Amino acid sequence: MLEITEFLPYQLVHLANKVSDDFARVYKEEANLTTPQWRVMAHLAQESFTAKQLTDLARIDKSTLSRAIKQLETRGFVELRADESDKRSKVLILTNEGCEVYSKLSILAKSWEKSLLKHLTEDEQLTLKVVLQKLNEHI
């Protein structure tokens, strides 16, 4: 019989939720962001995307993404612009204020991650990254 707590998908989801919830306190306390808002900003800090692209990248349903974008627009963190490669399409970008907030949160994110990973040796950290990458490539 399957022991659910020893089943890899259960363990991964359980750990991912714990990690996400713990880190959420950082962006909630520092910038009053929700998880969808943080994910949008994190992706837009890399490059501009359409809402459809963000839905796929951030793995957020359309209505939740739409609400997050509207809230971020209201706060002046993101804005819609015409896509230079396709004038019929709109892309989202971080505003200067959004970049400043993301920059501050990036420093805190790296510190948070370092604090979490200090429980692993350097070899274990490298192994973890390799194993996660391998699993991710095969699903």
State how far the Cα of 32 lies from the Cα of 73, in Å rounded to an integer: 14
- Give the pLDDT of residue 89: 83
- Give the pLDDT of residue 37: 97
- Give the pLDDT of residue 84: 80
Provide the whole-model pTM.
0.89
Instruction: Report domain extents, the chain.
Output: 4-113
State how far the Cα of 54 lies from the Cα of 2, in Å rounded to an integer: 36
Give which of 81, 63, 84, 85 is closest to 73, Cα–Cα.
81
The separation between the first and the last C-alpha atoms of the chain, rounded to the nearest angstrom, is 25
Flag residues of the chain having pLDDT under 50. none
Pick the CATH number of 4-113 from 3.40.190.10, 3.40.640.10, 1.10.10.10, 3.60.150.10: 1.10.10.10
- Give the pLDDT of residue 54: 95
Dmax of the chain from CA atoms?
Answer: 56
